[in-house]
Every structure is written in structure tokens, then in C-alpha cells.
Amino acid sequence: MTEVRVAGVGLTRFGSHPERTGRDLFAEAADRAFADAGVDRNAVEELNYGNFMGALAEHQGHQAPLMAEAAGVRCPATRYESACASAGVAVREAVRTVAAGDADVVVAGGMERMTNLDTEGATEGLAIAADDLFEVRAGVTFPGAYALMARAYFEAHGGSREDLAHVASKNHENALPNEYAQFRTEVSVEEALDSPPIAEPLHLYDACPITDGASALVLVSEEYAAENDVDAPVAVTGTGQGTDRMALADRTDLAATPAAVDAATAAYDDAGIGPADVDLAEVHDCFTIAEVLAIESLGLAEPGEGIAAARDGHTTADGDLPVNLSGGLKAKGHPVGATGGSQIAEVTRLLRGDHPNSEHVPDAEVGVAHNAGGTVASAVVHVLEVAE
């Protein structure tokens, strides 16, 4: 097994790009990743691409060869789909390929274009990540599903809408200096509390936005980096994936996400670390309650204690364990198929010291990226470390 290094990362600005195509967005992210890596495109041996709803949003299936062309590479290309965890799965398979010695250079990432759909179309497109037979046909949407999870959490552990408002406010503040973020605006706890309800107890500022964007990573083996003088100071040392029952009604506990627990356990074991070693995390906060569930699943907070983490300053930028210094999905945005790659790009920049929020974590050596699909029926966790 060889160590997998992140040679380069590339992102588009997240937001609304009505004048652009998906392949154009991915090309931009790939261009930035190659420029960051200093790796020749001809060296790329595989491309792993995440996308969830391109067949609906752009009427385009079979996207992998299109994205290889857009990225300027000629190699085997594969599209990965795991709802909101699509790019996370794409990156995981790239990491496993390089670690096994089957390739020295792999590009991984993803893209989603969503704002060209109206609200009804985007809602319908996202809903197919739930169980169609037992949830979608009954009218369940993701705000409603996560509201059920929030209610279950409050019943099991306590908590309030104000606790969730602290999560929203924290992540909006973190997004302010991030040039790639969709919403670079402050949102106070009071504003979050006063926003209109979407599915009680969740209100407008508890939810992430509809977003267009792309992410790309150039992953290389440690040997390739050394032989080609590639500056790649961050390594992906652990990866894990988990799965849960699709429908909420089939789960035993709506206040926990066992798929993420399984993914985190596998990633920590792979890296040879534990939760206590983590210095920062980027987690899948599609709704504010999702961040609470994520940090508990990662072992960064005990069950029932994650709800107060933002309010108590534990996970703020200047806290002892900053979470979502990028702004998270909540404020940076959530282009579904690109998010998992974006999270790893942000952790990489934070650990390298070239992220606008790196000043908050100057001594960080270990970061975790947590990417979830649907109501966490799928989860992927990666551990990144500053290489020795």
C-alpha cells in the first residue's frame, strides 16, 4: 500500500450559474486543480466523477466521458452516484485505487447544476434520493425528513431551535472570507430564529441553498510525488463508507446516523487515529440538525452533546474543534454531486495553511471530511493529515 497525497485542488464559486453548462463548471474546477498540482494532464490514469441529478437537471446521462473531455484528459472515466455523497464516493474509490498501486495519478471530484430548475423541479429532483415507494409517494421531502430527525433528537436528548440557530450563524460567519462561498453574509442567531418555517422545527436558515458548482482533486501516490517533485504536503490517510436503511420508517433511531458511525470507524481505523486526534472537520450540514448528528457520529461529541457544541463555542472558528470553517453546505452551498470533493479541497487548504480561515487553525495536522447521502442512508468519511 502506498500513501495517497493531494497534489492539487480546484473549485468553482458556488452559487447560481444560469449561463453555464455542467461541463464548463467541471472544466474550471479541473483547470484550477491542475494548476495547483503542477501535474501534467497526460499523467492522469483515471477520472472519477460524482453527479446525482444531471439526467434531470441537464437532460444528460453518460457524463463521465464528457467530463474527461472537459478536464482535458484521456483515460478511463467513471461516474459515481450516491445522492449527496456522490463525490465522496468518487474520491474514496480514487484513494483506494492509488493506495492499492493500480494508478499513480487519479482525478476525482464532481459537479451539480441545479439552479436552472425551478423550486418544484429541484425539490422533485432531490426527492429521488429518498425511498420512492414508501416516502416520496407519500409526499416526504428532505426538509420534512430532517425535521422528523430533529424532533426525534430533541425528544431523545433535549435541545431547541436556538441551538440550531447557533449552528447556522456560525457557518455563515465562517463563509464570509471564503471566495468560493455562495452566501458571504452574516446571519445572527436572532435572524435565524425569526426566519420563516419550512418544516418545524426547521426554518429557512436551517437549510442549505440550491447551488451550482464543481470540485476537482488531483490525487497522486507518494512515490509519484517524490519522483516528479510534486509539492503535496497533505495525505489522505483514511477512508470509510457506511450504509443504512433507506426509509426513515425502517430505522430504529432517527436521532442517530449509524452509516456515518460505520464510515468514521473505518476511516479512523484506516488512518490509525481516533476522534481525539482530529483538529478540524468539514461535515455535511445540509440542515443544521445534520451538523449535530455528524459530529456525534464522528465521535467529536458524545450522543446528546452535539446540540450545544456551536452555542457553547466548541465548534466555532476559535473553538477547540472548528467545524465547517468553509461555511459548510449551509453557507458555502451544496451542489450535490460536487460537495464531497469540495469538503476535501477545503480540508486540504486548511491543513496547507492557504485557506482564508487557516489562521484559526495554524497548528492543525489532522482533518476529517464527512459526506452524507439522503437522510444519511449513505456516508463517506475521509481522514486527511499533514504528511511527515
pLDDT in tens, 115-164: 999 988 998 899 999 999 999 999 999 999 999 999 999 999 999 999 99
Cell of 291: 451538523
What mean pLDDT is reported for the chain?
Answer: 97
Count the neighbouring beta carbons within 10 Å of the beta carbon of residue 137: 10
Superfamily of the domain at 4-118+215-376? Thiolase/Chalcone synthase (3.40.47.10)
pLDDT in tens, 230-243: 999 999 999 999 99
Question: For a pLDDT cut of 70, what percent of the chain falls above it?
Answer: 100
Q: pTM of this prediction?
A: 0.97
Question: Rounded to whole angstroms, how far apart are CA atoms 117 and 136?
Answer: 19
62 is catalytic: no
75 is catalytic: no
For the chain, the distance separating the N- and C-terminal CA atoms, rounded to the nearest angstrom, is 17
pLDDT of residue 1: 82
Question: Rounded to whole angstroms, how far apart are CA atoms 20 and 383?
Answer: 33
In this predicted structure, the answer to whether residue 297 has a pLDDT above a threshold of 90 is yes
pLDDT of residue 388: 75
- The one catalytic residue in 17, 84, 166, 355 is 84
Q: Average pLDDT in the 162-167 region?
A: 98
- The one catalytic residue in 334, 355, 370, 382 is 334
Question: Rounded to whole angstroms, how far apart are CA atoms 108 and 338?
Answer: 10
